[in-house]
């Protein structure tokens, strides 16, 4: 028989009771965390959001409550009335360990099936099971703490933006395609037969139009939707701190974001200092082989192409440049480890990996015969290798127009080795602004130049003339914010002139008809006095993930999706009723 809550009022959260409450009456409510039956005494640990308290039922003094407690099982929902007393022997493991609640009355408010995994801090249930029963997973302390921290982060963002004069404006979810380089999620219109809304990949066009509308400073904590391949730090729907401001210099936008990030980190108990350092994109690629360099450790890359004579390159089938790095302390790597490293490098896109071991007794190299002793020495020297280091040089299997393919491979290897050698200082928080991006990047699949960011990104004034003649040389007014090897967000000073925006669309290969159809309304809006403007968007999920020390953004999202973009709990996506399809005029073809 279940009890009703009736008019019973909770007086304390379970985890809040302390020695100073001893002697007080208390009413707590929560779930049965653990049960221990010692015959005359029955202990129930009761859990709520705040923690756990031990409740004791005494058969002699409170036989009725005791009898009822015997029925309670894991995850039953209870209300307990009782008195707080000091424990004879304190349990230092839990914050409420100095007291216990002696029950006088027990209300069983609901029962529960045996959960598919125990609700403990450390569990080894598969992530799929956790996602399917997310409501049970959420009862654990860490998911609680993550969502609470996320709340604090978002709250601090709102406070900071408000204090800096930004206004939060909501933009539509049912809209038309906003190009951010991903596929759209489409929503069919019932009223307009054969027509579709797109869920926004970002509020990009709307926020620019808000600047045309004179809002001056806009922000929004907003959901964005992108249908793309998912990874640990990517979800089909994710949240951005999105902002835009009128008449900004780049540094004005940087100041705003630095202020926000310093405050947000402080909320998580992390002290960071502004201003954040800057780096040019080209330097990041050449030094770190990445457009989101992790600066928590060194192991910088160096170009060593000059150490590989033409003949050696030919034998090794190397086409482009070679990049190398010195891995500290890895001189002891065995033959087997080097083979593994070579395989790893090949998996990352290397043609091959070539090693130099720098030991007190001298240097040895896997390519000594091919490039000669002097060149081996030179490779080590260029990389600044010391005794005990292993120098790893790589070439790329395929060259990529407009970028250093070998550096990109070496950059990945740097991360792998940094982790393997324990070289990354995990206590550090290294923010970085990246600037000087190319406006376009080469798309191998489309065999054309595409926007490196999105097509509203401003163009460096001096490079405008090259838009049609040498697009690969055009620099953008874009920037990225990077933290510990993660891209936290990107933004730019925008194109605010209609003539330039139209030229850019054409440079991207859009015909007059296409650009009218897709962006006509925006090009029109640009003609009515558009102020210079710029902005940025930061990934809230990634920020919450990093600040809570998690490795996957699913851990900081209440109801995340799998890498196959499924919600295992709600079982979406799903088929829909025939009737709904008929109304939408849609017929599903079997694949």
CA of 433: how far to CAs of 253, 279, 480, 489, 581, in Å? 11, 6, 6, 10, 48
In whole angstroms, give the CA distance from residue 492 to residue 248: 10
Give the residue, chosen from 257, 331, 358, 536, that forms a contact with ligand ASP under the rule CB under 6 A: 536
CB of 458 to ligand ASP, least distance (A): 10
| Residue choice 143, 352, 491, 560 for contact with ligand ASP (CB under 6 A) | 491
By the rule CB under 6 A, 202 interacts with ligand ASP: yes
Closest approach of ligand ASP to the CB of residue 491, in Å: 4
Taking residue 98's Cβ as centre, other Cβ atoms within 10 Å add up to 19
Closer CB to ligand ASP, 50 or 476, in the complex: 476
Residue 490 lies near ligand ASP (rule: CB under 6 A):
yes
Asked if 318 is part of the footprint of ligand ASP (rule: CB under 6 A), the reply reads no
- Read off the tokens for 2: 């279940």
Q: Does 248 sit near ligand ASP (CB under 6 A)?
A: no
Alpha carbons 131 and 129: distance in angstroms, whole number: 5
Task: Using DSSP, state whether 552 is helix, strand or coil.
Answer: coil
Task: Answer yes or no whether residue 250 interacts with ligand ASP by CB under 6 A.
Answer: no
CB of 494 to ligand ASP, least distance (A): 8
- Is the Cα dihedral 384, 389, 395, 397 positive or negative? negative
On whether the CB atoms of residues 90 and 98 are closer than 8 A, the answer is yes
* Residue 304 within binding range of ligand ASP, rule CB under 6 A: no
Pick 158 or 223: Cβ nearer ligand ASP? 223
Cα separation, 203 vs 222, whole angstroms: 8
Looking at the Cβ atoms of 393 and 495, the one nearer to ligand ASP is 495
The residues that bridge with 481 in the sheet, in sequence order, are 433, 489
SS3 45: strand
Strand partners, 302: 324
Burial of 403 (0-12, 13-18, 19+ CB in 10 A): middle
Nearer to ligand ASP, 103 or 157 (CB): 157
Q: How far is the CB of 413 from ligand ASP (least distance, A)?
A: 28
Our CB check for ligand ASP shows the closer of 290 and 490 to be 490
- Is residue 420 left, alpha or beta, with left meaning phi > 0 and alpha meaning psi from -120 to 50? alpha
Closest to ligand ASP by CB, 229 vs 374, is 229
Site for ligand ASP in 162-201 (CB under 6 A): 180
User: Does residue 573 have a cis bond before it (omega within 30 degrees)?
Assistant: yes
State the CB neighbour count (10 A cutoff) for residue 406: 30
Shortest reach from residue 272's CB to ligand ASP, in Å? 22
User: Does residue 395 interact with ligand ASP by CB under 6 A?
Assistant: no
365 interacts with ligand ASP by CB under 6 A: no
- Site mask for ligand ASP (CB under 6 A), range 492-531, x = bound: x---------------------------------------
Spatial contact of 455 and 505, defined as CB atoms under 8 Å apart: yes
Size of the site for ligand ASP (CB under 6 A): 10
Region of 32-40, 64-72, 312-320, 487-495 interacting with ligand ASP (CB under 6 A)? 487-495
CB of 541 to ligand ASP, least distance (A): 13
3-class secondary structure for 438-469?
ECEEEECCCCEEEECCCCCECECHHHHHHCCC
Q: Between residues 104 and 177, which has the closer beta carbon with respect to ligand ASP?
A: 177
Whichever of 96 and 476 has its CB closer to ligand ASP, that residue is 476
Reference 204, options 559, 488, 430, 494; nearest CA is: 494
The reply to whether 476 sits near ligand ASP by the rule CB under 6 A is: no
535 near ligand ASP, judged by CB under 6 A: yes
Q: Which of residues 435-464 bind ligand ASP (CB under 6 A)?
A: 454
Binding site for ligand ASP (CB under 6 A): 180, 202, 204, 454, 490-492, 535-537
């Amino acid at each position: 028989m279940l009890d009703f809550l009736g008019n019973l009022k909770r007086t304390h959260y379970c985890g809040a009771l302390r020695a100073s409450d001893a002697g007080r009456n208390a009413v707590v409510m929560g779930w049965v965390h653990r049960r221990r039956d010692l015959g005359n005494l029955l202990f129930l640990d009761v859990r709520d959001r705040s923690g756990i308290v031990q409740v004791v039922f005494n058969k002699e003094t409170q036989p009725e409550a005791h009898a009822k407690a015997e029925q309670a099982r894991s995850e039953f929902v209870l209300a307990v009335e009782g008195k707080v007393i000091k424990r004879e022997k304190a349990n230092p493991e839990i914050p409420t360990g100095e007291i216990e609640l002696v029950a006088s009355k027990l209300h069983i408010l609901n029962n529960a099936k045996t959960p598919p995994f125990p609700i403990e801090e450390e569990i080894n249930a598969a992530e799929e099971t956790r996602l399917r029963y997310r409501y049970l997973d959420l009862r654990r302390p860490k998911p609680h703490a993550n969502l609470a921290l996320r709340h604090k982060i978002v709250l601090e963002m709102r406070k900071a933006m408000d204090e800096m004069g930004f206004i939060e404006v909501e933009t539509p979810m049912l809209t038309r395609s906003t190009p951010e380089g991903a596929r759209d999620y489409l929503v069919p219109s019932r009223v307009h037969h054969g027509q579709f809304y797109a869920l926004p990949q970002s509020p990009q066009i709307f926020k620019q139009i808000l600047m045309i509308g004179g809002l001056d400073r806009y922000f929004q904590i907003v959901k964005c939707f992108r249908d793309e391949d998912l990874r640990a730090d990517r979800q089909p729907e994710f949240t951005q701190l999105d902002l835009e401001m009128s008449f900004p210099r780049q540094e004005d936008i940087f100041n705003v974001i630095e202020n926000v990030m310093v405050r947000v980190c402080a909320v998580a108990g992390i002290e960071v200092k502004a201003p954040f350092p800057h780096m040019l994109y080209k330097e990041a690629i050449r030094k770190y082989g990445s457009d989101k360099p992790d600066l928590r450790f060194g192991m910088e890359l160096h170009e060593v192409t000059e150490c590989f004579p033409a003949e050696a390159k030919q034998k090794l089938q190397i086409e482009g440049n070679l990049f190398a790095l010195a891995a500290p302390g890895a001189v002891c790597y065995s033959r087997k480890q080097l083979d593994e490293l070579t395989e790893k490098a090949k998996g990352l896109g290397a043609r091959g990996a070539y090693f130099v071991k720098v030991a007190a007794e001298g240097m040895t190299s896997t390519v000594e015969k091919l490039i000669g002793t002097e060149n081996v020495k030179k490779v080590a020297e260029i990389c600044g290798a010391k005794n005990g280091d292993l120098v790893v040089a790589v070439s790329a299997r395929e060259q990529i127009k407009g970028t250093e393919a070998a550096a990109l491979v070496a950059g990945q290897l740097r991360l792998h080795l940094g982790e393997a050698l324990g070289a990354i200082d995990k206590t550090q928080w290294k923010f970085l602004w990246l600037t000087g991006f190319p406006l376009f990047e080469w798309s191998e699949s489309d065999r054309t130049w595409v926007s490196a960011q999105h097509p509203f990104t401003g163009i460096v004034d001096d490079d405008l003339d090259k838009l049609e003649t040498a697009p690969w040389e055009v620099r953008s007014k874009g920037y990225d914010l990077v933290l510990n090897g993660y891209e936290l967000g990107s933004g730019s000073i925008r194109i605010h002139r209609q003539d330039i925006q139209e030229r850019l669309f054409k440079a991207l290969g859009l015909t007059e008809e296409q650009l009218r159809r897709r962006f006509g309304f925006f090009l029109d809006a640009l003609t009515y006095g558009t102020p210079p403007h710029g902005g940025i968007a930061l990934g809230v999920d990634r920020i919450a993930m990093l600040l809570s020390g998690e490795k996957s953004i699913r851990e900081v999202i209440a109801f995340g999706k799998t890498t196959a973009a499924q919600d295992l709990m709600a079982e979406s996506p799903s088929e829909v009723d025939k009737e709904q399809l008929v109304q939408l005029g849609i017929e599903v073809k079997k694949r």
